[in-house]
């Protein structure tokens, strides 16, 4: 019978910390992190519908909300909804929503596109409850999808910042 050995765990954790420090690891959002030039410096284009409203809100929450910044971010969102499950009577009980966000980060002064990309993901929701419950689940699913796409866009921007410091 084996038991948990705290000393071994602490030695392993300490060795891992030394290894990370020795490899040149620096936090993205740290004092000298590469992402700091984007924080409170990206003006996100105005939303055009409910989905882009949620996406812009989440982007501004993570990057900071500014009206004038050194960078501009354009985002276009496309969603599709399809049946995921039906019961034995043929009644739809579950839907999948697939979302795709295309983004472009540009330098405001020069107008040059610095980086662009496309992210996609999906969420599902249940349609087996009451009408109100189904509508609430659908609304929540779209919001969850926009949060996921936001996380992916921010991750892409941080990766760009890490590869292009200046």
Q: How many CB atoms lie within 10 A of CB 48?
A: 12
Q: Which helix (H) or strand (E) holds 92?
A: strand 92-107
Cβ proximity of 156 and 117 under 8 Å: yes
pTM greater than the 0.85 cutoff: no
The SS3 call for residue 23 is coil
Cβ proximity of 106 and 69 under 8 Å: no
Residue 26 has a pLDDT of 64
pLDDT digits (tens, 9 = 90+) for 84-130: 898 989 889 999 999 999 999 999 999 999 999 999 999 999 998 89
Rounded CA separation 65/42 (Å): 8
N residues, the chain = 166
Rounded CA separation 148/140 (Å): 12
Burial of 7 from C-beta contacts in 10 A (0-12 / 13-18 / 19+): exposed
CATH 3.30.1600.10 is right for the domain spanning 35-163: no
Q: Which residue has 């699913």 as its token pair? A: 141
pLDDT digits (tens, 9 = 90+) for 54-87: 999 999 999 999 888 899 999 999 999 998 898 9
Residue 103 has a pLDDT of 97
Residue 23: phi and psi, rounded to 5, are -90, 0
What DSSP designation does 150 have? H
């Amino acid at each position: 019978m084996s038991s948990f050995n705290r000393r071994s765990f602490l030695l392993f954790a300490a060795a891992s910390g030394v290894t990370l420090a020795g490899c040149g690891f620096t936090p993205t959002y740290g004092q000298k992190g590469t992402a700091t030039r984007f924080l409170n410096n990206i003006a996100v284009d105005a939303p055009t519908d409910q989905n882009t409203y949620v996406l812009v809100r989440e982007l501004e929450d993570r990057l900071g909300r500014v009206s004038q910044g050194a960078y501009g971010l354009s985002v276009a969102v496309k969603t599709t909804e399809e049946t995921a499950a039906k019961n034995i009577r043929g009644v739809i009980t579950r839907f999948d929503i697939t979302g795709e966000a295309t983004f472009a980060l540009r330098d405001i002064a020069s107008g040059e596109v610095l980086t662009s990309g496309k992210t996609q993901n999906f969420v599902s929701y249940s349609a087996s409850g009451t009408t109100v419950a189904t509508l609430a689940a659908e609304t929540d699913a779209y919001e969850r999808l926009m949060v996921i796409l936001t996380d992916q866009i921010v991750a892409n921007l941080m990766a760009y910042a890490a590869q292009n410091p200046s």
